[in-house]
Chains A and B, each alone.
Chain A
Amino acid sequence: MKRTGFPLLVASSLLLATLASSATRPHYGGTLHAAVQAAPSSLDPNQPDHFGSRNIFGLIFDTLVVLDDQGRPEPALAASWQAEPGDQRWQFSLRHGVSFQDGTPLTADSVATSLRAVNPSWKVLAAGDTVVIERDAPAPDLPAELALPRNGIVKRESGKTAGTGPFVMSQWEPAKRLTLVARDDYWGGRPFLGSIDIVMGQSLRDQMIAFDLGRAQLIEVAPEQARRAATEGRRIEGSAPAELIALVFARPPQSAEEAKLREALSLSIDRGLLNTVVLQNGGEPAGGLLPNWMTGYGFLFPVEVNMTRAQQERAEVPKAVLWGLDYDRNDALERVLAERIMLSARDAGLRVQLASGASADAKLVRVPLAASDAHIALGEIAKSLGLPQPVFHSSAVDDLYVAESTLLHSQRVIPLLHLRTAWAVSNTVKNWSEGHDGSWRLVNTWLTTERP
């Protein structure tokens, strides 16, 4: 009994250890099934609606530079870079041994061609293994700008695109389905996932059904639904606040009285209540345009409701104009927010009614943060909201604060909330990670064989 018991014990121990290590040890192969709302009609990152598709493009295309969670640039296709004094001329040295998915090597010419196609105003030159970029004005944030998905390096031939990313397109049904296969020759090392199957154009409800049925292992979850989804036992992964919801007026205030009324409206909105009740803590109250994690000074912008002061501001104006408030009729979250804003405004003595189209004076908008870099993100927000482009004299935080404050003081925009990006991830997905901006990082993710 003793002679047979020990080997059994050893064998059992080895089996358990093997099983345990299989769950934690990286595992090559397998297909990750994902579903997204975005439905790009082409695989070119240079397209207007690239925010929703950036995770897809990030799997196929690399950029010269990537940003870490603190928004600092790190080498990617560019092994190093340096700027000449004045930050107008930058020189990027390319990484060696990088090839496109069609096997052709990455060259300075192909990089220059790709960047020139996206940024016609830039002067991009190829010089050996280096790419020189000359800007008309000082561009201290050029590396961060090059980290934007739209600046992914693309080889465009005969209407087809090829990148240097970790995955290569295997099957493509525009706006419907995309199947990607891991590249063995990826310069950063072969991904653990064997392939990724992405179903596009799926509503959040359909994604959740597919997830619960086990047909998808990675889906998007609305931030206001994340808490409930987690309560119901799903694995929810969330990013830092990476999307802004704001109330944007179509025009600047026409008088001091209107500016006062806009101030009263901002004061009457209980952002905290919106976050806790409507968003189910799926975000943060926003006093500024950029989230606090990005700038560090976000707390300086007040978010507390002050109905008394709002009523006082309103009382100082003889007659309140009637504002028409527009929102995306297909967005349930925006609808609730708009209706709540209308109630708050009514409590403050303001006149707000729901409107649509050209008759609206203000509109609820959702703007994803384009980058982890605050300067880039603020510029993209201003661009998306139709506000004047912020002017930065340096990359210092003070300069950023002044620029953001200037935008807020224009009273064209009232920030409301910063939303997190949430994903429901199957338990079979291991080593999941995402950027602060909600971008996927699937290179080091693998799948286990256990059933979800």
Chain B
Amino acid sequence: MSKRQVKVYPRFERLWHWMQVVLITTLAITGFGMNGVHGLLPFGATVMLHTMAALVLIGLWIFATFWLFTTGTWKQFIPRIEGMFAVARFYAFGVFKGEEHPYEKKFWRKHNPLQAATYFVIKWTVFPAVWITGLLYLSYNFWEPMPNSGFWLPIVANLHLIAAYVVVTFVIVHVYLLTVGHGFRHHVKPMLSGFDEVDLTPEQEAYLEQNEPWRLKG
């Protein structure tokens, strides 16, 4: 085993992440504006910005899904119980006692088990809830003629709203957890440069040196 600087976040994945940052921030600000939480922007412009950001984000997600499955990266996001308890225990107690983070980054496991599980749940529940209710909300006039549409509209809208609050809650915890362990800057850097320190098995190292030398630095 040797620690190497490995490209764990290729260009598309970084673009994907930072576009999500921009788009989700835009959607949150405009969305809560439309909901009446604040009045920072004129309503009409807010609706336009929200709609366009949402359509771009859905487009991005379609690309990302395609990318995940063609590159095999989807495997990174499959949650495993193994090690999850240790990470949870660390955040709850160990971190206060100066213990080490129990997770060691591996080439095919670039997220810690709790992280992978969280992303998995978000990708399969919260994000679909947001975009499905969002598209339904946006296309209300198409299904309005259906019976009881007036009953369903507030349900769709409120599901959209609560899902949005869940996303904001996720962002708060997500950003905070960057400060735990090696610290905020150390955690953000790989998402900018793409490179992170990973324990490689000799086989992995040999394979990468032979076939994907661009993944290795130094």
- Note whether A and B form a binding pair: no
